[in-house]
Each structure stands twice: as C-alpha cells, then as structure tokens.
Structure 1
Amino acid sequence: MFMAAYTRLFEPIKIGKVEIKNKIAMAPMGVLGLATQDGCFSKRVVDYYVERAKGGTGLIITSVTKVDNEIERFKAGAVPVATANPLHFIATAGELTERVHAYGTKIFLQLGMGFGRVAAPILLESHPVAPSAIPNFWDPSITCRELTTAEVETLVQRASEAAEIAVEAGFDGVEIHAMHEGYLLDQFTIALFNRRGDKYGGALEDRLTFPIEIVRAIKDRVGKDFPVVLRFSIKNYIKDWRQGGLPGENFQEKGRDVEEALAAAKILEGAGYDGFDADAGSYDAWYWAHPPVYQKHGCYLPLTQRLKEVVKVPVIVAGRLEIPELAEEALVKGQADMIAIGRGLLTDPYWVNKVMTGRSKNIRPCIGCHDGCLGRGFLGRPLSCTVNPACGREEEYAIDRAPEAKQVMVIGGGVAGMEAARVAALRGHRVSLYEKSDRLGGHVVEAAVPDFKADDGRLLEWYKTELGELQVEIHLNQEVTPEFVEEKNPDVVVVATGSTPAIPDIPGINKEKVTTVSDLLLGKKQAGGRVVIIGGGLAGCETALWLAQQGKDVTIIEILDDLMRAGIPVPYMNRMMLLDLLKMNGVKWLTETSVLEVTDDGVTLISKTYQRSTLPADTVVLAVGFAADQRLYNALRDKIPNLYLIGDSRVPRNILAAIWEGYEVGRGI
C-alpha cells in the first residue's frame, strides 16, 4: 500500500538531465576497510550498495574515490582511487552500476581531490599537504607542505580523467568531494587555511578557482549533460583551530559563514555545477559534519532553506533526516529538493520501501552512536553498523532459514537477548524469551531517558515490533532458575542476563544520598541540587549533561587523566560534542582524582599527588561501570550442551557488542 502521507518523497526529480525515480538519496559515506589494494571496489562494496538499491533508494552517492594518489599518497587500500588501476576500477565499478541500475536506481561516483590538513598521518605514505603551510589536524606538530600551482592543476586534470572513467564504468553522474567538512578542496576555499599568492588564493572568487576549474574540465571532457554535483558546507562552525561551535552558541565564525557560502554558491552554480549536496561543519567541528545523538534531527534544514533561496539547481540535504515525517516536511516546506539518508540506510537498507508501503514502524533506527560506522575506522576495522551487523557484509552475513527448527530459550530481554531471539526466529526456530523485569530493554531502558537519547527508545520499540511480528513468546516478570530450564528442556539456551551496576568499596557508600546511574535515570531516586558523579565514562558524562540541563550543580570525579578514556573508545565526534556540551551547561570535573569517603556533607577526595579536599553534595551518583551477571550461566554450564553466554553477561561493553553477539549466536543456531 502506497503511503499518501509521503507523496513528495516519492516524486521523481531531475539532476541536470538525469531523472531519479524518487527524492531519496543515499548520502556518501566512506567504505572504510572495503576497498581493494589497488583502490577498486571489492565485492563487499558492490553487495553493500546493491542492497540499498534493492531497498528502493532513488540515488546512491558512493564513498569518496580519490582522483589521484601520487601528490597525496595514501596507503594501499585505504580509500578507492579511480586512476590507480583504471581498467580494474572500470571492471569492478561497472559490475556495481549494472546491478544497481537493474533496480531502477541511479548512482553517482564521488570524486575526491584529497584530504589535505585532515589526512591522518597513519594513513599516509607521504608528507601531509595543504593549500598553505598549516598544521595537520590530527598532529598539529606536523606542518603540511604547501601544494605547488602545478600540482593543483594536475589534480584538476586528474578530476576530468576520473570523470571519464566514471562514464566508462556506467555511473550516471559524479559528485565533487568536497567543498565541505574541511577536506583539501574546501581548504582552498576557506581564508583561514588558504594563504596563497597564486591564482588559487586571495579573495573569495580567487579561492573558488579550484572547484570552478574542476567542473569546467569535467564538462569539457565528458560533455555538459553529464551531471556534476558539489558536496558543499554552508557553514563551517569553526570557533578556533580544532574547536567547533555548538548549536545556539554565540561565537565568531573563523571558517566560512552563511553569507559567504551563499555568495559562493551563486558563483559555483554559474560555473556549471548541477546541484549542491549541502550540509555544515568541518573537522574542527566534526559533530556538525557527522551529527551524533546530541544533534537534533534535521540540523541542517535552516541552512539549506537559505541556500535554496539563492540557487536554482537541486539542493540535496542530509543531517539525521531518517524520520520519514521530517523528511517529507522538509520537502513540503521547500527546505530541500532531495533528502539524503546516510546512517539511516546503514541501519536499514529497506528504509525507502518500508516508508512507501506503510511500514515505517519496521524501520530499524539509527541511534547516533557512530560506534559501528566511523568509530570502527578509528579501530582499523571495516565499515558496518551498531544495530545492523550485516552492514558491509550483506551476502556473507545474511540470515538464512535453518535446516531444522529448534526450541530456543533466550534468558534476558536486553538488546543482546532480543537480537538473538529475533535472528533465531528469522531462521525458523521456535523462540521463547524470558525477562525477570516488567519490560524489555535492559540497561537501554534507562539510557533512553534523557531527551537527547530518544533514539535508544525508538530502537527498543523496533525490537518489540519485530519480536511481535515474528511471534516470539515473551514472558515478562519471570526469573529463570536452573530447575526451570531443565523442566522446559529446550534444544538451545542463550543466556543474556546482563549486568548490574558496580559498587565501589568506599566508606559511606551505603548512605541514602548515594545512588546508581541506573536508579537515578529510572526515577527510583531523585537528585538534589548539588550532585557529584563518581566516574567520567560515557554513562557518567551523559547523566551529568542530563542533570545539568535540569539546573543541577554537577561535578564529575574521574580517576584517569581525562573523561571518556576508559574501555571502548567513544567516537571522536560524539566525545567532542559531549565535552563541549558539558562545558556549555556548567558541568565541572576533576580528573586524576578519587573519592575516599562519602560523608553526610558530601565527599572526601584525594588527588594523584595525594592532596585531600572535600566537595559538598546532596546526591552522589555511581557511574563506575557494570559487573557481569553470570550466576545462571555458571549453574547451567555443566548441564546444558547447547548453551551460549552473550552481551553484558559475558563482558559489559556497549550496545554494539551486545547486538553483534546476539546476531552471531542467533545466526549460528
């Protein structure tokens, strides 16, 4: 059944002379770890994009593909490179375009000029380059080498060559990467980074010479009807070097401001660009370019509305627009011509078809964590997704029907248990899920309490919908004993009993003023006006922000030398935005400090240098981690042959680890 409520989303649109079947694009995202050693698309990449085409996406914009790997040499396989091995690139990309086109989807190849100052030295085989001699973003002790005029002209030539390769491979257009996010091309257009005295530096019109020469060279080489779109940031949000500006914060823009962007857009449209794929941010304000859970859905729309007032070509916009009602509303209000969905298509490749057929409640939501996508890149692992473990390995990690249906008992209704139950049911097994509390979700229930974590709540609702439709038997308020398991005698038992808050051995820890993060968020305890949080990990910091937004006076006590440094790394953009939000909301923190005692008046502290101090507090909140609950597993391990232990009950970690273990075990039953 077609949903009339979303008619604008499903209207066709033209970019140049290329017609696209609907107004939904897959936003360009790096296929980290999935390129071949010679810079071509691997089979995993092909499967990844084909799955989104099958799901109904109108336009796919690929990962960045470098036009040259000599001037700025990346290590082999780090990113695709169109010109490194053109024949092999055309072969692999040609297979991709053939398969995508079979589903009526158009596909643009994103062509990158380079990374410049934001190239991570660990990925390079050459010295970092930039428009001028400026510090490298990741290691400011390294000064980037200024590109020569001839080298920039070579990149323009390589861009036209790469566009011709794209035509031969069957792509429907290209997108130029990027006058956005502070990549190399963008650095040329921003006065803060461009101090050149040649034709590529100076006033705005001169700083736009590089992107103008690129579009003209491409049009001259492959024809004016071949679409060329520009990835374009309307505002950089640079407060200072390596420092971003928050939403609503009053600061002086040191990068490109809105007025300059609008002036630039008119010039670039006149030069021949057929559309703008618009957003905001920079590496210095990475939480704009890659908005985490703390950013509002549709965070770019006020900016793209301004852009649409000055250009006639289509404006594509992303920015957490995976909520169908918001995407449709943006089109109706004229804030965009086309909606780009990025991580929302990682979580659910069939987003488009589900919206079209009235199954929006079945869309698996993005929770804005970045752990499974960009976060994995920092760990040296391939692109995937926290809530969709098959992302980036669609064919080899697909769910097939089991040859024999089994009786599966899942004990524990957190995300690990729910995922194991869901996948086992998809395999055709008869699944019963037991949860000792009165609701499903485990620790994600309390995690979803702050307004900025509402997407966690959407994930729990999705699980309830899926488990209901799969007819998984759900038993709430039932604590499972070893005797109960033996009585039921299932074929397989999956233990996902979760974890309990860790309680440090500190004098006064049992005082009435002391509570855990879990109990506080669930409303079992109320916070007073002055709050001390013991533990500066992600849970402690998010709780601190939540309390500060209620007007509480909050101080975090952390034993390490910085916040959010223990355990699994918090992705860079999430961590930086949360730290900036803590500062903006007046949260204080003491690092390299421990709590010696909880007193009637507050807490007694000791620093790394053994200096004692006191801090008044009405409430002390424990956020020092969790302890695995393995009691049931240990009682069953010698009695049940097909017994699995997953999620926090194995080792407390994050949502990704819980869901991925549930998927793996459920898929293996």
Structure 2
Amino acid sequence: MSYKYQKLFESVKIGSIEIKNRFAMAPMGPQGLGDEEGAFNQRGVDYYVARARGGTGLIITGVTFVENEVEHHEMPGVPCSTYNPVHFVRTASEMTERIHAYDSKVFLQMSAGFGRVAPPANENVPPIAPSPIPNRWVDVTCREISKDEIHHIVEMFGEGAVNAKRAGFDGVQIHAVHEGYLLDQFAISFFNHRTDEYGGCLENRLRFAREVVEEIKKRCGDDYPVILRYSPKSFIKDWREGALPGEEFEEKGKDIPEGIEAGKLLVQYGYDALDVDVGCYDAWWWNHPPMYQKKGLYIPYAKIMKEAVDVPIICAGRMDNPDLALSALEDGACDMIGLGRPLLADPDYVNKLRLGKTALIRPCLSCHEGCLGRMVKNGSLNCAVNPEACREGVNFLIPALKSKKVLIVGGGVAGCEAARVLKLRGHEPVIYEKTARLGGNLIPGGVPDFKEDDRALIKWYENSLKDLKVDIKLNTEVTSEIVKNSKVDVVIIATGSKPKVFNLGDNSKVFTAADVLCGKKQAGDKVVVLGGGLVGCETALYLKKMGKEVTIVEAMDSLLALNGPSCFANFGMLMALIPYNHINVLTSSKVVKTTDKGVLVNTEGSCEREIEADSVVLAVGYNSNKELYDSLKYEVQDIRLLGDARKVSNIMYAVWDAYEVASKL
C-alpha cells in the first residue's frame, strides 16, 4: 500500500540514537513552564508529553540555562539544570519517562545566555556580551564577559549535560550559534571585538562553542548526541536594523560563505546535527517568521548546509504544509522537519498526518499572539488557536453530565469554537449564520495572500464541525422571536462586530476595508486608507501588491499605535514593509472630507492639503454587534455573549473565550 507521506515517517539517526520519524518539535521559549527551583513544572511536563503522544519523533525543549551567576535570571523563569540538580533530575525524569512511553526521543536545549539581546534588569547591571557593544533594546552598553566567566559557563554546560543525561534526556541541543544569542555574538565579528583567544579569526570566535561541545562530550561520552541551533546568515543591515526578503543590502553579520565555513568547523568540533535557520534579533522576523514571510523560508539555507556538512540537518520555519515538508526531504535540503508553532496549534499534527487526516490539522496562523507575543507581555507560552496549549492539565474537556440543546447565533470564530467544544463534550449545538458561509470577520481578514492561514483556519472549522456532525444553518438570520420560541437550554450570541463608518461628505467613493477585501467594492488606482492599525496596514499592503498607489492617513503619531501585533517580529516586519513597498504615510493626520479630486487632509502643525484619490478605504475599527443580545438578556434564562459581540478583540480571545464558556457549560 503506497502512502504519499511515507518518507516523512521513515526513521533517522542523530549520532547514536534512532528517531522513529522525520519530525522534530522545534524549541520554543518555555516561559511559564518552569518552577522557582529551575525545574520543569507540571504544566511543562504535560506540554511536552502531549506532543510526544501526538506522534512527534523528537522533542526539543525550549531554552534552559546552564548557570545563573554570570547572566542572572529571575526565578521562576525557564528551567536551569544546575540550579537545583536533584530537583531538576527528579521532575525531568518524569517527563522523559512519559515521552519515551510514546517511542519519542527528547533533547534538552541548553543556553550559554542571551548576552546583548537580554533586556537590562536595571541600569546598574548591564547585559553581558563578547565586547562593549550596544544592547538590542535600549541605549545601554553591554559589559564584556571575562575569560574566567567563559570558562565557568563551559564548565556548567558539562554539569548541566550530566544532569540532563541522568534525567533521561537522549541528547542536548546547544543554544546557540544562531539568532544573535551569546554564542552567536562571539561567532560574529560585528559583535565580537576581542583581541584574546576568543576574538579575531573565525576559529577564535568559535572557540566558545567548541569548548562547550568538547566539555559535554568529555563529561557524557562521545556517543551522547550534542546538536546545535545554527544560523548561517544574519540579515543585519546595521545595529537594530534588519533586511527584508529580496532587499539588497550589505550584510554586517554572518554571511553565507562564512556561515558555510563556520558550519564545517562546528561539525568538525563534534556537533552531531545542525538545526538550521537564519536571522538575528536585529532582524527578528527571520528567526520568528510572521505570516508576511513565505512558507519554508529556511529551506534554501538548510540545503546549503546539507551540501556542506555530513551530519543531519533539521529545518523548521513555517514548515507545516506536509507537501512542502516532503519536497524538502526529497530534494535533499534536510533530514528532519522542525515544527514549532504548528505543534502549539495542534499537538496531534504528526499522528493526524500519518492517518491521512490532514483536513483536521488545526493551522498555526503565524500571528505570535499566543506564543512569543504573550511570552513577552505575560511571561507565559500559549497559543492563539489552541487554548489547551501549555495548559494541558488545566484546560481539558470533560464530558457533560447532561446533554443540552444550545442555539449559537453567529458562525464566526467564536461561534464555531463554541460549537466544536460543546459537541465534543456531548451537547447538541446548532449554529445559525445569516450569510452563506462560516468565518465572520476572518473572511475579509484572510483575503491578502499573506493571510493564507486565516483562510485555513476557516476551512479547519468547516471540516471539524462536519466531522463532528454539528448542525449548521446558513443563510438564516435569527430574530429575538425565533430565539424565544426555540425551546433550547442555552443561547450563545456570537454575532461579531461591524466596521465603523464615517460620513465624509460625498461617500460614493468611501468603502469599508471589509467590502474592498471581499470584492463587494472596487478600489480605484489611487487609494487613501483611513486608519493605520493592523487592518489598515495590511489592507494597504494588499492594495499596493495589486498595483494601487496607496496613502495611509493615521490620526496617531505612528502606525500600529493602536491594535497592532503584540509580537515585535510581526510588528517590526509590517512596519518595515510599508516604506519598503513605497506606501505613503501621513501620521498625526485626519481626513476632513472627500473632494472632487480626492480627500482633504488635516495634519497637525501644517495647513490642510488635498490628496488625489479614487477611493477612500475605512479601516478605523469595529463596533460590537450585540443588539440581539440586548433584546434577549432579560428574556432568556441562560444566555451567553461571546467574541467581538462582547468585546472587539482578536482571533485569540474569540477562541479562548468561546473555549472557556463552552468547556464549562
């Protein structure tokens, strides 16, 4: 029996260990998954075990530190294998034993530190670095790390690896000669200005990374696998300035020729595999690719390294499309497929693919809202589309004690998620959607080519609800009388939100972004987008790619000041794409009215001026649509309000709120 994706399920060896398939869980920051003694807490254990249960062949944990003196980290933060070794081994052993029960392997990712990319704890304690160089985030000069401190960190790598081996980890991954972390700062001459044996020529700049692998092999044995997270190219234009895809620039960091040479040396030093990506904190949208980056963006760089070295290559970077993953293996670009955020979104990705249930794989949106953005903001790892991620022991579905009939008004994200969860628990939900399809505001939001995963999320809900046999009534508008006469146990109002509109005089050429994106209205050749939030900027980029001349007019003093992406990778790339694509921007400005030629714009501190425009596209926010709820809240005994109808927000909170309410009903 032939199977299309069979090659993805062939075994592969890294050093002395054999992995059952070609999938590796890519390392992601485990904030919120460690305890005050530097061990994995129960959430962390459950989180990694769930991905092994879902079929992933190799689990690579998120970053853990090997010491807490040279670069101090507050506890609880991320685990540290040397902080309380007995406690670390005790808790990690439970995790590795459970992972091994599913015939999966697990590596502990161990870090030398963040260096210049760590936000300063306070002004009196500057971050460390190879040399006195600028911090990534604030105007602080880093402190040069001493040779004694380097030797201490190397020694602690050995201690930490011994503890990892005792705890049952099958190997370790070193963090990292990638993304501009401390080891990478030593490797890159732009950051490393030292004149001792740790600076100067490439071999000297790699000495720190060499001593790390040699110390681990000395302490744990030559057959204990040590792999490396590795970036052969940095995409640094200058301090805190990154390059965009296709942009011509002078590389200030590590470029491909040196990246190849460094990779060969690192393998020669003893690293058993390279986990390849590209980028740096100064070009963060490469290492943490938003939806504005193409799928499989690291494949060309993985192939370069695959052709240069004779150890396995792991390639992540928006690799969730199984056809793309298969082609990367067949083309010889890599040996394993790294899945990071896709395994946050769906821990059962690998098993579903093995069983041919690709339509039921929940897609990652590359939004960073629940993962990286939430880690920076709240200090915890989660997922926008999977409320159970990193809360597997807390957020899980319990069968309902009594099945209830639930009427759901609205087939947007909140309504679909509520129906899905209710049906899984044994309730009888019915969705009433007034339009011809499910999706709500995700439909216009998913129109731009870079929002393909928004479209995939709609399709996933359609497929999942069909698989669960949820009753869906399309083209059906619900009135208060229909609800009151429905004889159901619970009513959920998930009627979403409506775009805000302004009267600008002659409104014949004024359209909402939703209408333009859905093709209900046609924008002319010269377009003014009113509003520079996320919807406005993405709509402007979409229109510019269609060949329009576009001007964004924003009342605030900068774009994305309101309702922008929470993660800097998404925020920074979108902000860079606007000028790169020659989109005109007027901030601290308001459109006064339409004119025969276009619009009259008032900018603070200057005279009013007229801008030529065939069309004005409104992207100034949304208002909750809860009229039906207001008419029923005193008439229906058990009624709930969800999604944008309750409070205009983003996809994450629509999903999370719906899951919370439906899981407790």
Q: Please say whether Structure 1 and Structure 2 have the same fold, judged by a TM-score greater than 0.5.
A: yes
Looking at structure 1, the residues matched to 378 and 245 of structure 2 have their Cα atoms a distance apart, in angstroms, of 31
Deviation at 1:608, TM superposition (A): 2.5
Deviation at 1:378, TM superposition (A): 2.1
Deviation at 1:125, TM superposition (A): 9.2
Aligned partners of 2:565 and 2:571 also within 8 Å:
no
**Aligned to 1:111, what secondary structure does the other structure show?**
strand
Deviation at 1:34, TM superposition (A): 2.2
Deviation at 1:78, TM superposition (A): 2.1
Partner of 1:180: 178
**Aligned to 2:593, what secondary structure does the other structure show?**
strand
Partner of 1:108: 107
- Given residue 37 of structure 1, which amino acid in structure 2 is its aligned partner? E
- Given residue 579 of structure 2, which amino acid in structure 1 is its aligned partner? K
Q: Which runs of 5+ in 1 are unaligned?
A: none
Deviation at 1:557, TM superposition (A): 0.7
Partner of 2:456: 458
Deviation at 1:248, TM superposition (A): 1.2
**Aligned to 1:614, what secondary structure does the other structure show?**
strand
Where does 1:250-269 land on structure 2 (aligned, <5 Å)?
250-269=248-267
**Aligned to 1:494, what secondary structure does the other structure show?**
strand
How many residue pairs get matched?
665
**CA deviations over 1:433-459 (Å, ceiling 9, x no partner):** 000111110010111111111111111
Partner of 2:551: 555
**Aligned to 2:31, what secondary structure does the other structure show?**
coil
Q: Which runs of 5+ in 2 are unaligned?
A: none
Give the alignment partner of residue 412 of structure 2, picking from 406, 410, 414. Answer: 414
Higher mean displacement: 262-271 or 119-128: 119-128
Deviation at 1:568, TM superposition (A): 6.1
Partner of 1:579: 575
Aligned partners of 1:90 and 1:166 also within 8 Å:
yes
Distance change >3 Å, CA 93–CA 550, structure 1 → 2 = same
Partner of 1:196: 194
Looking at structure 2, the residues matched to 273 and 201 of structure 1 have their Cα atoms a distance apart, in angstroms, of 21
Higher mean displacement: 235-244 or 568-577: 568-577
Partner of 2:24: 25
**Aligned to 1:175, what secondary structure does the other structure show?**
strand
Partner of 1:602: 598
Aligned partners of 1:187 and 1:194 also within 8 Å:
yes
Looking at structure 1, the residues matched to 122 and 20 of structure 2 have their Cα atoms a distance apart, in angstroms, of 38
Partner of 2:333: 335
Looking at structure 1, the residues matched to 636 and 383 of structure 2 have their Cα atoms a distance apart, in angstroms, of 33
**Aligned to 1:182, what secondary structure does the other structure show?**
coil
Deviation at 1:507, TM superposition (A): 3.4
Deviation at 1:381, TM superposition (A): 4.1
**CA deviations over 1:451-495 (Å, ceiling 9, x no partner):** 111111111000000111111110111110110011112101110
Partner of 1:243: 241
- For the pair 1:507 / 2:531, whether they are aligned, the reply is no
- The CA RMSD measured in Å over matched residues stands at 1.3
- For the pair 1:518 / 2:517, whether they are aligned, the reply is no
Partner of 1:5: 4
Aligned partners of 1:528 and 1:552 also within 8 Å:
yes
- Given residue 21 of structure 2, which amino acid in structure 1 is its aligned partner? N
Looking at structure 2, the residues matched to 122 and 320 of structure 1 have their Cα atoms a distance apart, in angstroms, of 33
**Aligned to 1:121, what secondary structure does the other structure show?**
coil
Deviation at 1:122, TM superposition (A): 4.7
**CA deviations over 1:515-552 (Å, ceiling 9, x no partner):** 00000001011111111011000000000001111111
Deviation at 1:569, TM superposition (A): 4.5
Deviation at 1:123, TM superposition (A): 8.9
- Identity of paired residues, percent? 51
Deviation at 1:609, TM superposition (A): 2.5
- Given residue 540 of structure 1, which amino acid in structure 2 is its aligned partner? G
Looking at structure 1, the residues matched to 504 and 166 of structure 2 have their Cα atoms a distance apart, in angstroms, of 72
**CA deviations over 1:358-396 (Å, ceiling 9, x no partner):** 101110001110001001012124211011011010121
Looking at structure 2, the residues matched to 643 and 265 of structure 1 have their Cα atoms a distance apart, in angstroms, of 60
Looking at structure 2, the residues matched to 322 and 3 of structure 1 have their Cα atoms a distance apart, in angstroms, of 22
**Aligned to 1:298, what secondary structure does the other structure show?**
coil
Partner of 1:51: 50
**CA deviations over 1:81-125 (Å, ceiling 9, x no partner):** 111111111111111101111110100000000000000225999
Partner of 2:218: 220
- Given residue 286 of structure 1, which amino acid in structure 2 is its aligned partner? W
**Superposition TM-score, scaled by structure 1 size:** 0.98
Higher mean displacement: 323-332 or 121-130: 121-130
Partner of 1:160: 158
Deviation at 1:610, TM superposition (A): 5.5
Aligned partners of 2:534 and 2:564 also within 8 Å:
no
Partner of 2:627: 631
Aligned partners of 1:38 and 1:77 also within 8 Å:
yes
Higher mean displacement: 645-654 or 579-588: 579-588
Partner of 1:542: 538
Aligned partners of 1:32 and 1:79 also within 8 Å:
yes
- For the pair 1:42 / 2:38, whether they are aligned, the reply is no
Deviation at 1:554, TM superposition (A): 0.6
Give the alignment partner of residue 364 of structure 2, picking from 352, 363, 366. Answer: 366
**Superposition TM-score, scaled by structure 2 size:** 0.98
**CA deviations over 1:578-630 (Å, ceiling 9, x no partner):** 12222221111111111111222111112222632221111100000000011
Where does 1:373-412 land on structure 2 (aligned, <5 Å)?
373-412=371-410
Partner of 1:296: 294
**CA deviations over 1:258-293 (Å, ceiling 9, x no partner):** 111100111111111100011111111111001110
Aligned partners of 1:318 and 1:341 also within 8 Å:
yes
- Given residue 555 of structure 2, which amino acid in structure 1 is its aligned partner? I
Looking at structure 2, the residues matched to 606 and 193 of structure 1 have their Cα atoms a distance apart, in angstroms, of 45
